[in-house]
Chain A
């Protein structure tokens, strides 16, 4: 079974430019998460989807970040415009169902560097 797929793995952009990250969860997983991981820290949740609905986006900086999961499968996270402080690893995770799903499966992440 394929794991969570993310692309690109690495991205270097100049500040004020837009950037997008893509995630394909494990087949059949209805719940999808985007996390931000700063260097030397644990991941922090940005947004959680149940199918195509964003059920928790309270920690997503909506002035510059947006996300979508149009068909309830793969998802895109966008930053526009990027700032220097956005340099981090962006992780995508998925879990099998919408209730009591304690196990989250993580992708390898996208390492963003903003110069």
Chain B
């Protein structure tokens, strides 16, 4: 079945540091890939997405590139801010799953001033 593996957290960075959160997946067909973010006390928000190989999703300074050859969708940001502190979830919808999101276990990010 479909699965998503994220790097384990928690991750603690200083403000303005470079961020990478690794995500790899296993899925049938050609999945669509997503990053969701969950701020404390809030629901999940879609951060970015990519629907086909080599697509780059980007939003709020975050980027992730759909790499089919390595089945990866790593999240990056060049300079993190304290306000980026949250839990980040990698997720996919495979072509055969009819809109069922499969999530990774989440990575807690804390950015210190």
Contacts and interface: CB of A to CB of B under 8 A. Distances in A.
A66 B67 CA distance: 40
Given A40-B105, A108-B42, A109-B43, A102 B100 contact: no
Interface residues of B, number: 23
Q: Is the interface of A mostly helix, strand, loop or mixed?
A: loop
A45 B101 contact: yes
A48 B101 CA distance: 11
Report which residue of A41, A44, A55, A102 has the largest number of chain B beta carbons within 10 angstroms of its beta carbon. Answer: A102
A40 B107 CA distance: 9
Interface residues of A, number: 24
B49 A102 contact: yes
A46 to B, nearest CB: 11
Report which residue of B44, B45, B93, B104 has the largest number of chain A beta carbons within 10 angstroms of its beta carbon. Answer: B44
Contacts of A102: 32, 34, 49, 51, 93, 99
Interface of A: 3-4, 31, 40-45, 48, 55-56, 91, 93, 95, 101-109
16 contacts: A4-B43, A31-B99, A41-B106, A42-B4, A43-B103, A45-B100, A48-B100, A55-B98, A56-B100, A91-B43, A102-B32, A103-B49, A106-B36, A106-B43, A108-B41, A108-B42
Given A43-B103, A108-B41, 12 more contacts: A42-B4, A44-B103, A45-B100, A56-B98, A56-B100, A91-B43, A95-B99, A102-B34, A102-B49, A102-B51, A106-B44, A109-B43
